[in-house]
C-alpha cells in the first residue's frame, strides 16, 4: 500500500489505514532518513490505538512504554545502539513476543533479531514537503 501525505492533517487517516492494512501484525518496522517523520507517524498511530500518554522519541531510553485501555505499546529507537548485543542485553524478545504493539525505529541496527512477521513502513520526504509512505506486510 502506498500513501502520499501533503500535510500533518492527513496523519490520523494514514494511521487508521496503516493499522487496517497490517491485519494481525502488531510489530511495525519504520525505515526512513533522519527527519523523514517516523516519530511523528508513530505518535499518530499511538493516538489511533487509544493511548493518552505523551508519545516521545525514545532516542536515549531506547524503549518507551505507552498504555491503552487494553494493550501496551512499545516504541523503540535503536539509532544509538553500537551493536545487536545491546538489544539482546535489554531483553528485546520480551517486548517483541509479548503480543503488544511494537513500533521500531532504526530496525536496520538489529537485522538478525527482527521477527519473522511484521509490517514494514518506509517513509520518504519528497521535495515539495510531502511524505510518501510505503506499507508492506511480511
CATH number for the domain including 11? 3.40.50.300
Q: From CA 109, how far away is CA 9, in angstroms rounded? A: 31
- Judged against a pLDDT cut of 90, whether residue 22 lies above it is answered with yes
Percent of the chain with pLDDT over 70: 100
Helical H runs in 3-130?
11-22, 38-49, 84-89, 92-96
Mean of pLDDT values over 8-22: 97
The predicted-structure confidence for 27-66, as pLDDT tens digits, reads as follows 999 999 999 999 999 999 999 999 999 999 888 889 999 9
Pairing verdict, β 63-67 and 72-77: antiparallel
The SS3 call for residue 130 is coil
- What pLDDT is recorded for position 61? 87
- What pLDDT is recorded for position 59? 82
* Structural domain count, the chain: 1
The answer to whether residues 121 and 28 touch, using CB atoms and an 8 Å cutoff, is yes
Mean of pLDDT values over 106-134: 96
Whole domain around residue 59: which residue ranges?
2-137
The answer to whether residues 104 and 30 touch, using CB atoms and an 8 Å cutoff, is yes
Q: From CA 83, how far away is CA 132, in angstroms rounded? A: 30
Mean of pLDDT values over 4-12: 96
Pairing verdict, β 119-125 and 131-137: antiparallel
Mean pLDDT of the chain: 95
Percent of the chain with pLDDT over 90: 94
Amino acid at each position: 500500500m502506498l500513501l502520499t501525505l501533503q500535510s500533518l492533517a492527513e496523519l490520523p487517516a494514514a494511521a487508521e489505514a496503516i493499522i487496517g492494512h497490517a491485519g494481525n501484525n502488531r510489530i511495525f518496522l519504520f525505515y526512513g532518513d533522519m527527519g523523514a517523520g517516523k516519530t511523528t507517524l508513530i505518535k499518530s498511530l499511538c493516538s489511533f490505538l487509544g493511548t493518552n500518554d505523551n508519545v516521545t522519541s525514545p532516542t536515549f531510553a531506547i524503549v518507551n512504554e505507552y498504555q491503552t485501555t487494553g494493550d501496551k505499546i512499545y516504541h523503540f529507537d535503536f539509532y544509538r545502539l553500537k551493536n545487536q548485543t545491546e538489544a539482546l542485553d535489554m531483553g528485546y524478545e520480551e517486548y517483541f513476543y509479548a503480543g503488544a504493539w511494537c513500533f521500531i525505529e532504526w530496525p536496520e541496527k538489529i537485522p538478525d533479531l527482527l521477527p519473522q512477521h511484521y509490517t514494514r513502513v518506509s517513509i520518504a520526504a519528497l521535495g515539495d514537503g510531502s511524505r510518501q509512505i510505503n506499507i508492506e506486510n511480511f
